Amino acid sequence: MLITTHITQQGLQYLIPSSHPRPHEISRSAALNASTICHNLHVSRYATPDLTKLGLYDLVIFCDDSLSMGHQKRFDKLKTVVRRIARIGSAYNPAGITIRFMNATNDGGFNGIITEEQVETCLDQVHLRRGTPLGTKLFQKVVQPLIVQKARSWELTKPVVVSVVTDGMPSEEDKDTLKHTILATKNELLKLSTPNGGNYGPSAVVFQIARVGTSRSAESFVKSLEDDPDINDLVFCTDESLDWALDKAGDQFNTWVSDSIPRHGV
Protein backbone atom coordinates (compact mmCIF):
# COMPACT_ATOMS: atom_id res chain seq x y z
CA MET A 1 0.00 0.00 0.00
CA LEU A 2 1.45 3.36 -1.07
CA ILE A 3 0.35 5.20 2.08
CA THR A 4 1.89 2.72 4.53
CA THR A 5 5.10 2.72 2.50
CA HIS A 6 5.15 6.52 2.65
CA ILE A 7 4.70 6.44 6.44
CA THR A 8 7.69 4.12 6.81
CA GLN A 9 9.91 6.00 4.35
CA GLN A 10 9.22 9.33 6.04
CA GLY A 11 9.77 8.05 9.56
CA LEU A 12 6.17 8.80 10.57
CA GLN A 13 5.50 5.44 12.22
CA TYR A 14 5.69 6.91 15.73
CA LEU A 15 3.07 9.49 14.76
CA ILE A 16 0.94 7.08 12.73
CA PRO A 17 1.68 3.53 13.98
CA SER A 18 0.92 0.49 11.85
CA SER A 19 -2.07 -0.33 14.06
CA HIS A 20 -3.71 3.03 13.35
CA PRO A 21 -6.85 2.74 11.20
CA ARG A 22 -6.30 6.07 9.39
CA PRO A 23 -4.13 4.82 6.48
CA HIS A 24 -6.64 2.10 5.64
CA GLU A 25 -9.56 4.53 5.93
CA ILE A 26 -7.85 7.06 3.64
CA SER A 27 -7.01 4.43 1.02
CA ARG A 28 -10.50 2.93 1.14
CA SER A 29 -12.21 6.32 0.83
CA ALA A 30 -9.91 7.38 -2.02
CA ALA A 31 -10.61 4.16 -3.91
CA LEU A 32 -14.38 4.40 -3.44
CA ASN A 33 -14.47 8.05 -4.51
CA ALA A 34 -11.73 7.97 -7.14
CA SER A 35 -13.96 8.86 -10.09
CA THR A 36 -15.59 11.78 -8.28
CA ILE A 37 -12.24 13.10 -7.03
CA CYS A 38 -10.66 12.90 -10.49
CA HIS A 39 -13.64 14.72 -11.98
CA ASN A 40 -13.74 17.46 -9.34
CA LEU A 41 -9.98 18.07 -9.33
CA HIS A 42 -9.54 17.56 -13.08
CA VAL A 43 -6.73 15.06 -12.60
CA SER A 44 -6.12 11.61 -14.01
CA ARG A 45 -6.15 8.45 -11.94
CA TYR A 46 -2.36 8.38 -12.32
CA ALA A 47 -2.12 11.51 -10.13
CA THR A 48 -4.34 10.23 -7.34
CA PRO A 49 -1.78 8.05 -5.49
CA ASP A 50 0.38 11.09 -4.66
CA LEU A 51 -2.67 13.19 -3.82
CA THR A 52 -4.02 10.46 -1.54
CA LYS A 53 -1.04 11.00 0.77
CA LEU A 54 -2.51 14.39 1.65
CA GLY A 55 -5.10 12.58 3.74
CA LEU A 56 -2.35 11.83 6.25
CA TYR A 57 -1.53 15.51 6.75
CA ASP A 58 -3.07 18.61 8.26
CA LEU A 59 -2.86 21.46 5.73
CA VAL A 60 -2.08 24.98 6.95
CA ILE A 61 -1.83 27.96 4.60
CA PHE A 62 0.08 30.97 5.91
CA CYS A 63 -0.72 34.00 3.75
CA ASP A 64 1.04 37.30 3.20
CA ASP A 65 -1.50 40.10 3.71
CA SER A 66 0.91 43.04 3.43
CA LEU A 67 -0.04 46.16 1.46
CA SER A 68 1.99 45.08 -1.56
CA MET A 69 -0.40 42.16 -2.05
CA GLY A 70 -2.79 44.74 -3.48
CA HIS A 71 -0.51 45.19 -6.51
CA GLN A 72 -0.92 43.21 -9.75
CA LYS A 73 -4.05 41.55 -8.35
CA ARG A 74 -1.78 39.44 -6.13
CA PHE A 75 -4.41 39.04 -3.41
CA ASP A 76 -6.88 37.82 -6.02
CA LYS A 77 -4.29 35.25 -7.09
CA LEU A 78 -3.86 34.26 -3.47
CA LYS A 79 -7.61 33.73 -3.14
CA THR A 80 -7.52 31.39 -6.13
CA VAL A 81 -4.62 29.46 -4.64
CA VAL A 82 -6.39 29.03 -1.29
CA ARG A 83 -9.63 27.97 -2.99
CA ARG A 84 -7.75 25.33 -4.96
CA ILE A 85 -5.96 24.00 -1.88
CA ALA A 86 -9.26 23.83 0.01
CA ARG A 87 -10.77 21.84 -2.84
CA ILE A 88 -7.82 19.43 -2.85
CA GLY A 89 -7.66 19.15 0.92
CA SER A 90 -11.35 18.44 1.39
CA ALA A 91 -11.18 15.65 -1.21
CA TYR A 92 -8.89 13.64 1.05
CA ASN A 93 -9.23 15.22 4.48
CA PRO A 94 -12.73 15.83 5.88
CA ALA A 95 -11.20 18.01 8.62
CA GLY A 96 -10.49 20.70 6.02
CA ILE A 97 -7.62 23.18 6.00
CA THR A 98 -6.42 25.92 8.35
CA ILE A 99 -5.76 29.46 7.11
CA ARG A 100 -3.65 32.05 8.90
CA PHE A 101 -2.58 35.52 7.79
CA MET A 102 0.62 37.31 8.63
CA ASN A 103 -0.88 40.59 9.85
CA ALA A 104 -4.58 39.89 10.45
CA THR A 105 -5.87 39.81 14.01
CA ASN A 106 -9.23 38.15 13.28
CA ASP A 107 -8.04 34.90 11.68
CA GLY A 108 -7.92 32.68 14.78
CA GLY A 109 -11.12 30.91 13.78
CA PHE A 110 -10.18 30.15 10.17
CA ASN A 111 -10.09 26.40 10.86
CA GLY A 112 -11.76 23.41 9.26
CA ILE A 113 -12.20 25.20 5.94
CA ILE A 114 -13.67 22.83 3.37
CA THR A 115 -15.66 24.72 0.75
CA GLU A 116 -14.66 27.52 -1.59
CA GLU A 117 -17.51 29.56 -0.11
CA GLN A 118 -15.88 29.28 3.32
CA VAL A 119 -12.60 30.45 1.81
CA GLU A 120 -14.30 33.53 0.38
CA THR A 121 -15.93 34.30 3.73
CA CYS A 122 -12.55 34.16 5.48
CA LEU A 123 -10.62 36.18 2.92
CA ASP A 124 -13.31 38.85 2.70
CA GLN A 125 -12.67 39.59 6.39
CA VAL A 126 -8.96 40.29 5.83
CA HIS A 127 -7.64 43.79 5.14
CA LEU A 128 -4.13 44.39 3.85
CA ARG A 129 -1.74 45.99 6.33
CA ARG A 130 1.76 47.41 6.35
CA GLY A 131 4.75 45.16 7.07
CA THR A 132 6.08 41.72 6.13
CA PRO A 133 7.33 40.07 9.36
CA LEU A 134 7.09 36.67 7.71
CA GLY A 135 9.26 34.51 9.97
CA THR A 136 8.17 36.20 13.20
CA LYS A 137 4.46 35.77 12.53
CA LEU A 138 4.88 32.25 11.15
CA PHE A 139 6.40 31.31 14.49
CA GLN A 140 3.75 33.11 16.55
CA LYS A 141 0.64 32.12 14.59
CA VAL A 142 1.47 28.69 13.16
CA VAL A 143 4.54 27.01 14.60
CA GLN A 144 3.89 27.64 18.28
CA PRO A 145 0.10 27.16 18.58
CA LEU A 146 -0.56 24.67 15.78
CA ILE A 147 2.56 22.49 15.87
CA VAL A 148 4.89 22.78 18.87
CA GLN A 149 2.30 23.30 21.61
CA LYS A 150 0.18 20.48 20.20
CA ALA A 151 3.22 18.19 20.09
CA ARG A 152 4.08 19.01 23.70
CA SER A 153 0.57 18.06 24.82
CA TRP A 154 0.36 15.02 22.50
CA GLU A 155 -2.42 16.68 20.50
CA LEU A 156 -0.39 16.63 17.27
CA THR A 157 -1.82 13.48 15.73
CA LYS A 158 -0.94 14.18 12.10
CA PRO A 159 2.10 15.52 10.27
CA VAL A 160 1.57 19.04 8.94
CA VAL A 161 2.11 20.70 5.56
CA VAL A 162 2.60 24.45 5.99
CA SER A 163 2.25 26.38 2.72
CA VAL A 164 3.71 29.89 2.97
CA VAL A 165 2.61 32.25 0.20
CA THR A 166 4.30 35.66 -0.04
CA ASP A 167 5.01 38.35 -2.61
CA GLY A 168 8.20 39.91 -1.30
CA MET A 169 11.17 40.05 1.01
CA PRO A 170 10.44 40.05 4.76
CA SER A 171 10.58 43.39 6.54
CA GLU A 172 10.61 44.50 10.18
CA GLU A 173 12.73 41.46 11.08
CA ASP A 174 16.15 40.00 10.34
CA LYS A 175 16.38 38.48 6.87
CA ASP A 176 17.17 35.06 8.38
CA THR A 177 14.19 34.96 10.76
CA LEU A 178 12.16 32.65 8.52
CA LYS A 179 15.12 30.30 8.23
CA HIS A 180 15.56 30.27 12.00
CA THR A 181 11.84 29.60 12.49
CA ILE A 182 12.02 26.57 10.21
CA LEU A 183 15.13 25.24 11.93
CA ALA A 184 13.66 25.82 15.40
CA THR A 185 10.52 23.89 14.45
CA LYS A 186 12.45 20.89 13.21
CA ASN A 187 14.81 20.87 16.19
CA GLU A 188 11.91 21.07 18.64
CA LEU A 189 10.10 18.16 16.98
CA LEU A 190 13.26 16.09 17.15
CA LYS A 191 13.20 16.44 20.94
CA LEU A 192 9.50 15.87 21.60
CA SER A 193 8.14 12.35 22.07
CA THR A 194 4.88 11.05 20.67
CA PRO A 195 2.27 9.11 22.68
CA ASN A 196 3.33 6.01 20.71
CA GLY A 197 7.00 6.16 21.69
CA GLY A 198 9.85 7.68 19.71
CA ASN A 199 10.04 11.32 18.68
CA TYR A 200 8.02 13.29 16.17
CA GLY A 201 11.10 13.83 14.01
CA PRO A 202 11.80 16.17 11.09
CA SER A 203 9.14 14.68 8.80
CA ALA A 204 6.33 15.74 11.13
CA VAL A 205 6.21 19.09 9.34
CA VAL A 206 6.80 20.05 5.71
CA PHE A 207 7.33 23.71 4.81
CA GLN A 208 6.36 24.82 1.33
CA ILE A 209 7.41 28.31 0.23
CA ALA A 210 5.79 29.93 -2.79
CA ARG A 211 5.48 33.43 -4.21
CA VAL A 212 2.95 35.46 -6.14
CA GLY A 213 3.69 38.46 -8.32
CA THR A 214 6.81 39.39 -10.26
CA SER A 215 8.96 40.91 -7.52
CA ARG A 216 12.63 40.21 -8.16
CA SER A 217 13.33 40.51 -4.44
CA ALA A 218 10.74 37.82 -3.69
CA GLU A 219 12.24 35.56 -6.33
CA SER A 220 15.71 36.11 -4.88
CA PHE A 221 14.49 35.48 -1.33
CA VAL A 222 12.76 32.19 -2.15
CA LYS A 223 15.79 31.10 -4.18
CA SER A 224 18.06 31.83 -1.22
CA LEU A 225 15.96 29.53 0.97
CA GLU A 226 16.07 26.79 -1.63
CA ASP A 227 19.86 27.06 -1.92
CA ASP A 228 20.58 27.37 1.81
CA PRO A 229 22.39 24.16 2.86
CA ASP A 230 21.04 24.48 6.41
CA ILE A 231 17.40 24.13 5.37
CA ASN A 232 17.20 23.05 1.72
CA ASP A 233 16.24 19.54 2.81
CA LEU A 234 13.55 20.92 5.11
CA VAL A 235 11.62 23.12 2.68
CA PHE A 236 10.07 22.80 -0.76
CA CYS A 237 10.32 26.01 -2.79
CA THR A 238 8.50 26.60 -6.06
CA ASP A 239 10.74 27.67 -8.93
CA GLU A 240 8.04 29.71 -10.64
CA SER A 241 5.55 32.18 -9.22
CA LEU A 242 2.07 30.88 -8.54
CA ASP A 243 0.82 33.29 -11.19
CA TRP A 244 2.53 31.05 -13.72
CA ALA A 245 1.22 27.90 -12.06
CA LEU A 246 -2.34 29.17 -12.24
CA ASP A 247 -2.20 30.72 -15.69
CA LYS A 248 -0.01 28.21 -17.51
CA ALA A 249 -0.13 24.94 -15.62
CA GLY A 250 -3.92 24.99 -15.37
CA ASP A 251 -5.33 21.95 -13.67
CA GLN A 252 -1.83 20.55 -13.14
CA PHE A 253 -1.69 23.03 -10.27
CA ASN A 254 -3.84 20.60 -8.33
CA THR A 255 -0.78 18.37 -7.79
CA TRP A 256 1.34 21.29 -6.50
CA VAL A 257 0.59 20.70 -2.82
CA SER A 258 1.30 16.97 -2.94
CA ASP A 259 4.57 17.62 -4.80
CA SER A 260 5.96 19.24 -1.64
CA ILE A 261 5.67 15.97 0.29
CA PRO A 262 8.91 13.98 -0.06
CA ARG A 263 8.65 10.71 -1.91
CA HIS A 264 11.69 9.22 -0.20
CA GLY A 265 13.11 9.12 3.29
CA VAL A 266 14.61 12.29 4.75
pLDDT, tens only, 144-176: 999 999 999 999 999 999 999 998 789 899 989
Least confident of 11-20, 28-37, 181-190, 232-241: 28-37
Q: Which fold has domain 56-259?
A: Rossmann fold (3.40.50)
Q: Give the per-residue pLDDT at 139.
A: 97
pLDDT at position 266 over 50: no
Taking residues 228-256, what's their average pLDDT? 72
Q: Give the per-residue pLDDT at 142.
A: 98
Q: Give the per-residue pLDDT at 264.
A: 41
Element housing 208 (H / E): strand 205-211
pLDDT at position 1 over 60: no
**Residue 78 CA from chain centroid, whole number:** 14
C-beta contacts of 23-29 below 8 A and 24+ residues apart: 23/56, 26/52, 26/55, 26/56, 26/92, 27/1, 27/2, 27/3, 27/52, 29/55, 29/92
Q: Give the per-residue pLDDT at 99.
A: 96
Q: Map residue 254 onto helix, strand or coil.
A: helix
Identify the CA nearest to 113 among candidates 58, 151, 150: 58
User: Which amino acid is residue 194, in one-letter code?
Assistant: T
Q: Give the per-residue pLDDT at 265.
A: 39
Q: Map residue 149 onto helix, strand or coil.
A: helix
pLDDT at position 205 over 60: yes
The predicted model scores a pTM of 0.89
Least confident of 52-66, 104-118, 179-193, 209-223: 209-223
Q: Map residue 23 onto helix, strand or coil.
A: helix
Residue 60 bridge partners (DSSP): 98, 162
CB atoms within 10 A of CB 248: 10
Inter-axis angle of helices 34-41 and 22-32, nearest 10 = 70
Taking residues 92-97, what's their average pLDDT? 86
pLDDT at position 258 over 80: no
Residues 6+ apart with CB under 8 A from 254: 41, 42, 43, 47, 51, 84, 87, 88
Where would I find the beta strands (DSSP E) of 215-255? 235-237
Measured CA to CA, the distance from residue 99 to residue 83 in angstroms comes to: 11
Q: Give the per-residue pLDDT at 260.
A: 62
Cα separation values, 241 from 165, 193, 210, 219, 249, Å: 10, 37, 7, 8, 11
Measured CA to CA, the distance from residue 220 to residue 132 in angstroms comes to: 16
- Range from 83-97, 114-128, 210-224 that averages highest in pLDDT: 114-128
